[in-house]
A and B are shown apart, each in its own frame.
Chain A
Amino acid sequence: MASSSHRLTVGRPALGPVGTIRETIKSVVQRRRLLLYLTIARVRKDGGNTIIGNFWLILDPALQLVIYYFLVGIVFNRPQPDFPLFLFAAILPWRWFTTALSSATESIRARNKVMRQIAFPQIVLPLSAIAASGTGFLFGLIPLFSLYLAYTDRLTIWVTALPLVAAVQVLWTLPFAILLSAISVFVRDIGNFLRHALRLLFYVSPALFSYERIEGILGPNPPAHLLLDLNPMAHILTAYRNILYEGRAADWGVLLIVALASIPFTIVSIYLFRRMAPSFVKVL
């Protein structure tokens, strides 16, 4: 009858940074079910109240592809060979990145009611935002792989490396999502700012154009070039394009460095989140 003891002590965890991070990871693992249900709820909300429901998960990225195809391929007249696949290989993961960040930014504020009633590790909220938009990414793979019907010769064994590249992307989404969710509790304007920042980042990432082309434009300008080199998404998108479009191995060395570089950022973001978390309920 009696439920097991869930928590032995309540109160400020008198742990150092290392202990805080270990405890946070442990608490998330314990609440993995919560993460699952929150993700399901969020995915359903996105498709809810529409006539075709979750079919939007597939239609949405497909329509976005059409628009960018029209913009870059026809208006700017800059098509690459097999242009739809070229575009989609980068737009789809980028979409995941932006939806993850923008919904993570709202995630804590959106659940302020339950935070006032139940004590739980709030960090699952931004994490579920990443997971839910990851579900959108998975459904977006359906139109992506449909494109291979038209470009059969582009489909190579390297496509199987997709989970690896996606994992690196998750590693880099984590610190931003965690930090943005916490900061937006105190500074609500961050969401408005984020929209524009992501737009800018989109244009300095090799999403609409190839890495070489962006490099050609920014090359003569050292600070701008540095921006491109330091942008983890630039390397990640290039890796996606390598395996999905060019049908060759990604630059695994670069990808490994990008992956390793995310770890200190994630650790710092978790620590900062935990430092801010006690104030959430008071501020919301």
Chain B
Amino acid sequence: MTVKQRAPISLKNVGVCYNMRLSRKRGLRKAIAKGARLDAQGKFWALRGITLEVQEGEILGVVGANGAGKSTLLATLAGILTPDAGSIAVYGSIATLLQLGAGFDDELNAEENILLVGAFLGIPGSVMKKKIPAILEFADIGDFSRSEVRTYSSGMRARLGFAVATAVNPDVLLVDEVLSTGDATFREKARRRILGLMKHARAVVYVTHDLESAKEICNRAIEMEDGKIIADGPARKIITAYERKMRTRGGPHASAASPKRTQSTPLRRRARKG
């Protein structure tokens, strides 16, 4: 096998498009009203012409304004979204730290949820079963491990979600801003765990608005705008240039021209803070 020689992640001319005619069709009347505003094809390209290779040992930071396509890129790498153009290959086991606690079922207790999420991820049950004690200890949910997840506080949920998602060492790690989990102690513990995973992984893609930490952690960075990669190089150089650009522009409004998607509003608000 020549697995070792291949780049863990390689994308060739990848495009992902949303057919606005299909999505969010909440009612016939709305669909007609919306359809009138779209172009002939009714398509919105969230990613376009992305060609990228992430080499062994690279920790790639992804920066850019909201709506630039960062999260879409991660979802595509994770296999959640299938590209509508181009080709993509990700070799090895993949772990995604996108949103914590996704996949939990309210009616199951902590142990069962660990097995459920493990099954969603495709991790063999025998492997997951061995990890249960370590996960419960890391999540620090104490006596609640036997009660259903619906009785958990949001903090406990997030801690358990984090512990499950980071339980196995992946070859390819995809991270989307999850360091803000729980209280200060847990955040520190989580940060250490993520850094540990990053060290072990063959390739990491890290999406963040925390530019300072990205400068520290990453050894390469790309800047995205309107679904395209507009800069690629050493992390420090790219991120510093991006910071300078944002300051002169007075805020990340680069995506204002692209068609609105429902989730873009809260994200944009979050970006202004950072």
Q: Is A186 a contact of B102 with CB atoms below 8 Å? A: no
Known: A34-B116, A41-B116. A115 touches B80 (CB 8 A): yes
- Asked if B36 lies at the interface with its beta carbon under 8 angstroms from chain A, I say no
Given A44-B107, A113-B102, A120-B120, residue A282 in contact with residue B87 (CB < 8 A): no
Determine the chain B residues whose CB is within 8 A of the CB of A115 once the complex forms: 80
- Which of chain B's residues 121-172 have a Cβ closer than 8 Å to chain A? 121-125, 127, 168-171
Contacts of A120 in B (CB 8 A): 120-122
By the criterion CB–CB under 8 Å, are B99 and A117 in contact?
yes
Interface range for A: 35 or more
Q: How many residues of B contact A (CB 8 A)?
A: 49
B103 touches A7 (CB 8 A): no
Within 8 Å by CB of B98, from A30, A33, A40, A117, lies A117
A51 within 8 A of B: no
Q: Report the stretch among A8-16, A58-66, A171-179, A223-231 that lies at the interface.
A: A8-16
- How distant is the Cα of A48 from the Cα of B116 in the complex, in angstroms? 18
Rounded to whole angstroms, the CA-CA distance of A30 and B120 in the bound complex is: 11
Interface of chain B residues 81 through 95 with chain A (CB within 8 A) = 81-83, 87-94
* Residues in chain B near residue A77, CB distance under 8 A: none
| Interface locus among B19-27, B54-62, B221-229 | B19-27
Stretch of B71-79, B207-215, B250-258 contacting A (4+ beta carbons < 8 Å): B71-79
Contact B88 A10 (CB under 8 A): yes
Q: Are A7 and B122 in contact (CB under 8 A)?
A: yes
The answer to whether B102 and A9 have CB atoms under 8 Å apart is: no
| In the complex, chain B residues whose CB is within 8 Å of the CB of A44 | 107-108
Interface contact A10-B90, CB-CB below 8 Å: yes
Answer yes or no: A195 CB below 8 A from chain B CBs. Answer: no
The reply to whether A117 and B96 contact each other, CB–CB distance below 8 Å, is yes
CB distance from B246 to the nearest CB of A (A): 28
Docked pose: A154 CA to B78 CA in angstroms: 57
Given contacts A8-B91, A45-B107, is CB(A283)–CB(B122) below 8 Å? no
Q: Which of A4, A33, A278, A279 contacts B93 (CB 8 A)?
A: A4
**B267 at the A interface (CB under 8 A):** no
A106-121 residues at the B interface, CB under 8 angstroms: 113-120
B262 to chain A, nearest CB (A): 11
Q: With both chains docked as a complex, state the minimum distance between the C-beta of A253 and any C-beta of chain B, in angstroms.
A: 41
Q: Is the CB of B107 within 8 A of A48?
A: yes
Q: Are B112 and A118 in contact (CB under 8 A)?
A: no
A251-284 interface with B by 8 A CB criterion: 278-279, 281-283
Instruction: Let me know if A4 and B78 touch, CB within 8 A.
Output: no
Given contacts A11-B89, A40-B108, contact A117 B122 (CB under 8 A): no
In chain A, residues 1-56, which have Cβ atoms closer than 8 Å to a Cβ of chain B? 1-12, 30-31, 33-34, 36-38, 40-41, 44-45, 48
In the complex formed, the residue of B with least CB distance to A118 is: B120
Contacts A33-B119, A41-B108: A3 and B127 contacting too (C-beta < 8 A)? yes
**B23 nearest CB neighbor, chain A only:** A283
Q: Could you tell me if A282 and B18 are in contact, using CB atoms closer than 8 angstroms?
A: yes
Do A6 and B121 touch (CB < 8 A)?
Answer: yes
- Contact A9–B91 (Cβ < 8 Å): yes
A41 CB to closest chain B CB, in angstroms?
4
B65 partner residues in chain A, CB cutoff 8 A: none
Q: A243 vs B99: C-alpha distance in the bound complex, in angstroms?
A: 51
B115 at the interface (CB under 8 A from A): yes
Are A5's CB and B93's CB within 8 A?
A: yes
Q: Cβ of A38 and Cβ of B116 under 8 Å apart?
A: yes
Does B105 touch A at the CB level, under 8 Å? yes
* Chain B residue contacts of A281, Cβ below 8 A: 75, 80-81
With A1-B169, A186-B22 known as contacts, the answer to whether A34 contacts B81 (CB < 8 A) is: no
Given A5-B171, A37-B116, A40-B108, is A31 in contact with B122 using a C-beta cutoff of 8 Å? yes
- A-B interface, 8 closest residue pairs, ranked by CB to CB distance from nearest: A119-B79, A117-B102, A34-B119, A10-B79, A114-B103, A278-B82, A41-B105, A6-B122
Which residues of A are at the interface with B, using a C-beta cutoff of 8 A? 1-12, 30-31, 33-34, 36-38, 40-41, 44-45, 48, 113-120, 186, 278-279, 281-283
